[in-house]
Amino acid sequence: MAASNLPLFRLDPTAPGSARGYITAAPAMTSAVDQSVFPDLTHPHVAGLAMGTLAILPRVAFTSATPTAAMTPMGLIERVTIHHSGFPQAWTLDDQGPTAEHLEFIRRFHTDAPPAGRGWADIGYHFAVDRAGRVWQGRSLLYQGAHVRNHNQNNVGIVVLGNFDLQSPTPDQVHGLTDLVTYLRCIYMMGQMEIWTHRELADEPTSCPGETLMAQVRVFRGF
């Protein structure tokens, strides 16, 4: 197949170097086009962004765990959905260490067996944005997330840490989220209409991503 005919997101977890979308390097900031984060580096559109400035912390920065079960392949990426973590108390810590522990807490909540946890194979979100504006890799983009029931197909899940019915996102957090969404839109050629929030897609009522983050999303996507 000619390179120009490659799909935007090639789903081949067995491809050399893909390592099922997970990396084993020491935790460090990595380019957004690191193969572990965006597996299809061969696509010319992705390759053309190799000098991008968005940095993403790989998942090994918060966990050594790998998925506990097989997951469903993502398919072509067509939309993004924004969430808040939404715990009953506001999340106010900025430092990387406690943030990593918090993300591991979320991953364990998602993977622990019910009723204590959700019983999913991995953390449900593909990316997280913390209070300092850092972007963290969660579940590999090779696989569907677990973030909007019945609507996870072709859908990138981003969680912004905090409860935005109780607090506001920090300016750095808004910048981090905007940069990530812009980058995803560029790589996967998505328009503003492909940027969703949980409440807009959910079959059941939810306040997610909270009022103050919803307002920010409306600003940066333009509706």
- 216's CB contacts (< 8 A; 6+ apart) are 169, 174, 177
Q: Which is nearer to Zn ion, 121 or 208 (CB)?
A: 208
Shortest Å distance, C-beta 207 to Zn ion: 9
- Which positions touch Zn ion (CB under 5 A)? 83, 198, 208
Shortest Å distance, C-beta 50 to Zn ion: 32
- Phi then psi for residue 67, to 5 deg, are -55, 145
Q: Which is nearer to Zn ion, 81 or 111 (CB)?
A: 81
Q: Which is nearer to Zn ion, 30 or 81 (CB)?
A: 81
Q: Rounded to an integer, what distance in angstroms lies between the CA atom of residue 169 and that of residue 61?
A: 22
Shortest Å distance, C-beta 184 to Zn ion: 17
The tokens for 14 are 């067995």
Q: What angle do CA 154, 160, 164 make, to 5 degrees?
A: 120
User: Coil, helix or strand for 28?
Assistant: coil
- Decide if 137 contacts 157 (C-beta within 8 A): no
Shortest Å distance, C-beta 46 to Zn ion: 27
Shortest Å distance, C-beta 208 to Zn ion: 3
Phi-psi sector, 65: left (phi>0), alpha (psi -120 to 50), beta: beta
Q: Which is nearer to Zn ion, 47 or 215 (CB)?
A: 215
Q: Which is nearer to Zn ion, 33 or 159 (CB)?
A: 159
